[in-house]
Amino acid sequence: MAAPTRMPSSSPDSDPARPAGAPAPAAARPGRLEGKVALVTGAGQVAGVQVGNGRATAIVFAREGARVALLDRERSAAEDTAQEIERAGAEAFVIEGDVSAEDDCHAAVAACRERLGGLDVLHHNVGIALGDGWAEGIEFSHWERIMRVNAGGALLMAKASLPVMREQGHGAITFVSSIAAIVAGVARTNNSPAAYKMSKAALNALTQSLAQSYAQHGVRVNAILPGLIDTPMGVDTVARALGISRERYVAIRDESVPLKGGMGSAWDIANAALFLASEEARFITGVLLAVDGGQSTRVG
């Protein structure tokens, strides 16, 4: 679980054991996702000291009353998330699957229907970047894999979920994209190689296309574009690939964020995801929401 990052300065419910933006203890009010069934993809995370976006979002959804299905290709990682949720007294179950395999996507949605009675929220968090590179050096097979998982996985999860949502007459889909799709480079390492950027740009286009096509069915489709977030996959994995220490890479990323305080945390993404999934966002569809401390306003 995440170590504390930045604490709120003067929040009335300040709790030194709770990371900035992390869910507050269960309140005596109805949850913002009460009665909803949510499927979170990439709901585990790679090992590391900080919490990942998928896990944080699943925890926040469950705290707000959703019954949550946790899809990940790494069963044990998703099981750790389920344990967190169950310890807090909420409900979750794990589905092992690969979002780039169509059968797995259909099986995940079928499991939601069978076990939880439907599917109200699809939060599609999976994204990979390993093997990426600039045009001259990238292995085409790596490009294909990144495109297949990031853009193809989103399409396949939508393809499996939309018939259920259409039949219900409502649904909310949120894709986790990236500001990499819309800015020239992130962090001073100039780290914006081809495949990841192309895949997230495709995801943004898919968001707009689906939002337009499914609005008539009451299905909202939005995307969150995280900026620099302190997650194990975003920091530890990339630092290793760049051959620099975690501390050095954290410093580079912190310095690149305009908003005071440096990088965001996975709880910042989870809070945005909660809003988009909830009824508070009932009139919002087709939006590409940057959650980036102002970074995408700097370079376009």
Ligand X SMILES: NC(=O)c1ccc[n+]([C@@H]2O[C@H](COP(=O)([O-])OP(=O)(O)OC[C@H]3O[C@@H](n4cnc5c(N)ncnc54)[C@H](O)[C@@H]3O)[C@@H](O)[C@H]2O)c1
Indicate the residue among 81 and 285 with the shorter CB distance to ligand X: 81
Chain residues 218-247 in contact with ligand X, contact rule CB under 6 A = 226, 228-229, 231-234
Region binding ligand X by CB under 6 A among candidate stretches 8-16, 39-47, 109-117, 254-262: 39-47
Number of residues written out for the chain: 300
Q: Count interface residues toward ligand X (CB under 6 A).
A: 31
For residue 29, the minimal CB distance to ligand X (Å) is: 28
Indicate the residue among 63 and 123 with the shorter CB distance to ligand X: 123
* Residue among 189, 152, 155, 190 nearest 173 (CA): 155
Instruction: Measure the CA–CA gap between 151 and 138, rounded to whole angstroms.
Output: 18
DSSP state for residue 170 in the 8-state scheme:
-
Binding characters for ligand X, 64-83, by CB under 6 A (x = yes): --------xxx--x------
For residue 190, the minimal CB distance to ligand X (Å) is: 16
Instruction: Pick the catalytic residue from 143, 196, 214, 267.
Output: 196
Query: Hey, which residues does 174 pair with through a beta bridge?
Result: 123, 222
Region binding ligand X by CB under 6 A among candidate stretches 3-11, 18-26, 48-56, 111-119: 48-56
The helix, strand and coil proportions of the chain, stated in percent and rounded to the nearest 5, come to: 45, 15, 40
Instruction: Measure the CA–CA gap between 232 and 219, rounded to whole angstroms.
Output: 32
For residue 293, the minimal CB distance to ligand X (Å) is: 11
Instruction: Measure the CA–CA gap between 36 and 47, rounded to whole angstroms.
Output: 29
For residue 156, the minimal CB distance to ligand X (Å) is: 10
Q: Which residue of this chain has its Cβ atom nearest to ligand X in the complex?
A: 52
- CA of 214: how far to CAs of 119, 222, 282, 285, in Å? 15, 12, 14, 10
* Residue among 255, 135, 266, 261 nearest 192 (CA): 135
Query: Does 42 help bind ligand X (rule: CB under 6 A)?
Result: yes
Chain residues 188-217 in contact with ligand X, contact rule CB under 6 A = none
For residue 112, the minimal CB distance to ligand X (Å) is: 15
Query: Does 60 help bind ligand X (rule: CB under 6 A)?
Result: no
Reading the block at residue 90, the tokens are 């909420």
The number of beta carbons lying within 10 Å of the beta carbon of residue 95 is: 21
For residue 61, the minimal CB distance to ligand X (Å) is: 14
249 catalytically annotated: no
Query: Does 99 help bind ligand X (rule: CB under 6 A)?
Result: yes
Region binding ligand X by CB under 6 A among candidate stretches 62-70, 123-131, 241-249, 282-290: 123-131
Q: 159-183: buried (b, 16+ CB within 10 Å) or exposed (e) per residue?
A: ebbbebbeeeeebbbbbbbbbbbbb
Query: Does 126 help bind ligand X (rule: CB under 6 A)?
Result: yes
Query: Does 149 help bind ligand X (rule: CB under 6 A)?
Result: yes
* Residue among 238, 241, 205 nearest 223 (CA): 205
Judged by the rule CB under 6 A, the positions of this chain that interact with ligand X are: 41-42, 44-46, 52-54, 72-74, 77, 98-100, 125-128, 149, 153, 176, 178, 226, 228-229, 231-234, 266
